[in-house]
Amino acid sequence: MKLFFILCLEYLIKECENLKMMKKPIVIGLILMASLMLIAGPVALAWQEGPSTDWWYIDPSYGDYQESLPLIIELDGNSSAEQVLYVGDTVEITVDIYPYAVSSSGGSDGAYAEWLLEVNGTTGYSSDTDFAYAHDSGDDPIIGHAEVGTNMTLSITYLLTDTGIHTVYANSSVAVSQYSVNVANETVDASLTFEVVVKTEIDVLVGVKTKADVLQDNGVPGKGINVAPGLQKEVPNDNSAKGKNK
């Protein structure tokens, strides 16, 4: 109705100007009247004009009107690509999703959102998925539209049991229908791969032994061995120490 009124107003102004019937005060008055009518009507920044005078707006990763948010997958809070994890570790896989859809036609409106987070690899498959749906039959003039929207964190707790490449995939989808006919749909997705390997023990560098260490290793008794000044000197290895103490 708003678009129809504006078009009619523009047409009337042009025709009156052509006939030289329109004076400036009258033009200003019509513009002010149109502005008041637009302000008085329902206002929602997240609505967009559809193919006719009906209205709809969809964004599978909604941040604000015409401002989408990125879909970012994280492994324990890290979104870097090609991460290396270890067998036996447990990783928390997350993604934030922000689907939004609204439809207003005065008839039968539908708004639908669906989301998915999944991981697959040699360790196995796991997922977190759900959907939301809203419908307005058009019988209630107070409602007048169907709308769904959410923001949440999808999460998978994943125990790594096998080596190999694993892939994480996420998507967010929205759609709207008017008069029971689909008029728009959109999907965003993201993926991330990581490798699972076996953790190897790191060799610990042991310091050079002292004469006292060598004596104790060979079973020599004595409480004063660890404090005797002459036994605190370092020796290159056990064999040389044994040779010196024969």
Share above pLDDT 70 across residues of the chain, in percent, rounded to a whole number: 58
* Confidence at residue 15, expressed as pLDDT on a 0 to 100 scale: 47
Helices (H), 73-181: none
pLDDT per residue as tens digits for the range 94-108: 999 999 999 888 778
pLDDT per residue as tens digits for the range 134-159: 988 765 555 568 899 999 999 999 99
In Å, how far are 4, 30, 33, 38 from 14, measured between CA atoms?
16, 13, 17, 21
In DSSP notation, 166-206 reads: EEEEEEEEEEEEETTEEEEEEEEEEEEEEEEEPPPPPPPPP
Bigger pLDDT: 45 vs 142:
142
* Confidence at residue 229, expressed as pLDDT on a 0 to 100 scale: 65
Could you tell me the pLDDT band of residue 205, with boundaries at 50, 70 and 90? very low
Bigger pLDDT: 231 vs 122:
122
The residue with tokens 């513009």 is 31
Looking at 3-17, 151-165, 213-227, which range is the least confident one? 3-17
pLDDT per residue as tens digits for the range 65-120: 888 999 999 999 999 999 999 999 999 999 999 999 998 887 789 999 999 999 99
